[in-house]
Amino acid sequence: EQRWRIESSYRELKQELLGSELTLRSGTPQTVMQEVWGALLAYNLIRLEMAEVARQEGVTPTDLSFTVALNYMRYEWLSLASISPGLLPKHLLRLRQRLGEQLLPKQRRGRQCPRVVKKPPARYPFKQVRAVK
């Protein structure tokens, strides 16, 4: 269970937050470290806000979707440029209310197809047979 949570957190950080980028954009070791720390800081701030929303709603933080929270926060971050600083608490409250409404379903739906082990790829390519006219 703990390993699954670690793997899920790593996937959220790598795929959702960093947008599945294969490499970091920085050119020097110092700026690479700065970029990594920035991503970790952003991830933990989002998780902290999710924990606060979960506490207010009386649920566990895993009942909230990281992707939904990230998208809401990105949207709010873009809209914050056009509002006055006095309205920030109101926007934060609205964000928390919206996140609290987006709980994950308690029961996941079943698989559409049964789990199977796929055949390994053939060592040699198949010859394409064409229809004779």
In this structure, how many other beta carbons lie within 10 angstroms of the beta carbon of residue 111?
7
Cα gap 90→71, rounded to integer Å: 19
Give me the number of domains the chain comprises: 1
- Please tell me the predicted confidence (pLDDT) of residue 22: 60
**Average pLDDT of the segment spanning 6-33:** 78
* Domain encompassing residue 47: 2-100
**Average pLDDT of the segment spanning 38-42:** 88
Pure H helices in 1-133: 2-11, 29-57, 66-79, 88-100
Cβ atoms of residues 10 and 47 within 8 Å: no
In this structure, how many other beta carbons lie within 10 angstroms of the beta carbon of residue 50?
22
pTM: 0.67
| Residues 105-132 pLDDT 10s | 777 677 778 888 888 888 887 777 777 7
51 confidence band (pLDDT: 50, 70, 90): very high
117 in a structural domain: no
Bridge partners of residue 64, in order along the sequence: 103
Candidates 104, 12, 16, 6; CA nearest to 62 is 104
44 in a structural domain: yes
109 in a structural domain: no
> For the chain, percent helix, then strand, then coil, each to nearest 5?
60, 0, 40
In this structure, how many other beta carbons lie within 10 angstroms of the beta carbon of residue 49?
19
